A and B are shown apart, each in its own frame.
Chain A
Amino acid sequence: MRTPCKRSLLLVAVLLPLFALASPEEDLAAFRAFYESRFPDIELADHADGAYALDEAKRAQWLEMEDFPPYEFAVDEGEALFEMPFADGESYASCFQNEGQGIKHLYPLFDEVAGEVVTLELALNRCREAHGEAPLDYEGEEIAALMAYMAYTSRGQTYDIKVPEAGLGAYEAGKQFFYERRGQLNFACSSCHLQSGGGMLRAEILSASVGHATHWPTYRFKWERVGTLHDRFIECNEQVGAQGLAPQSASYRNLEYFLTYMNNGMVLNGPASRK
């Protein structure tokens, strides 16, 4: 009598967390509701401007800087690189729908055949390799410039990232990464940008994570260059005393997948500039 009872309880204990897993749609609704409640006076769409949505004085300074945007050179360089033919006579345009124009908001996507998340940077390098070219350095200026150009041609497009059944594992892994504490300071991404979003870290305002993936690549004044979202992931991890992972590692791609899904319904506004 007692054994079946114990077995039933064990079964419930094992299965309960599975049923407790929220769907991506439920996650998105809860995520948005959290920020709407935290910042009732700020439109959700405005968080695409990061910390500049949260402070009027900083926003005014930033808008003035945008009169002569520091990423313009990267956009021009990226366009030249994008149009430069490969040794086999083809170009990047041959690898993407709409010849690579206005498509950045479609990435990252889950490739059901390969069973992994494909970011636009990864797709660019796979395109190169398919045409006999060496892949670009993921932390180099060339890939950042290409991304700046592709983001520029995609401005105004709305994110609608899909999570198919096969992509749920990658989505959940990215979500776990976002909420996991790391490094000697024992911080998660969510510690700063969800739990403490809108607060101050020394002189800086902590931006909300909703809108975090809309504006990349970004010219950061402290980097003095345009960098990618994965450059920022590495920097964030190192700021809390954790060793950064390799750019375009599976874990960072999964994190990008989760974060970009959390931007669904928001408008792509990259490339951008940040302090």
Chain B
Amino acid sequence: MRVGLWGCLKIGLLGSAAAALFVSSFIWGTVMADDLSGVAIEDLIRQAESLHIEAQQKEHAWVVTHRLILEARAALSAGRIDDAKSIATRAVQTAQASVDQADREQAAWSARVPQ
């Protein structure tokens, strides 16, 4: 198939645009990840709190989640953004694990009863 000059130009332009878009989105994503704002961290903490409350309602809350939530808040207040992000992420993970434990144990406990 023959491609004319105009065709070559179009392919080149489209390719450049796609490459630029790819590079810029990569850079933007990296910047966003590295420079997570206080608002985004606050959202993470709220997510951890919400899951922790769900675990409390199911009587399966973990001590560590409460401590991590407090630590994440303290780090955020002190402007230690990287620490706050890392601790809040761990808070979400432990809170989710406690909810998962509660759900799993609804059925799993009965296998431990002596017969």
* B59, B94, B98 interface centre (most CB from chain A within 10 Å): B59
- Give the number of residues in A that approach B within 8 Å (Cβ atoms): 26
CB–CB B114/A30 < 8 A: yes
CB–CB B109/A251 < 8 A: no
A10 in contact (CB, < 8 A): no
CB–CB A175/B56 < 8 A: no
A243 in contact (CB, < 8 A): yes
A180 in contact (CB, < 8 A): yes
Q: Known: A241-B63, A242-B63. Contact between A31 and B114, CB under 8 A? A: yes
Range of interface residues on B (Cβ < 8 Å): 20 to 34
**1/0 per position for A198-230, CB-CB distance to B under 8 A?**
000000000000000000000000000000000
Q: Which residues of B contact A180 (CB under 8 A)?
A: 105, 108-109
Closest Cβ of chain B to A34, distance in Å, is 4
A176 in contact (CB, < 8 A): yes
| Chain A residue at smallest Cβ distance from B97 | A184
In Å, the complex CA distance between A241 and B62 comes to: 6
| Chain B residue at smallest Cβ distance from A182 | B60
Chain A residues with a Cβ under 8 A of chain B:
22, 27, 30-31, 33-34, 175-177, 179-184, 186, 188, 190, 194-195, 238, 241-243, 245, 251
Chain B residues with a Cβ under 8 A of chain A:
56, 59-64, 66, 94, 97-98, 101, 105, 108-110, 112-115
**Between-chain CB contacts (< 8 Å), 12 pairs:** A31-B114, A176-B109, A176-B110, A177-B59, A179-B109, A179-B112, A181-B108, A184-B64, A188-B112, A194-B114, A238-B63, A243-B61
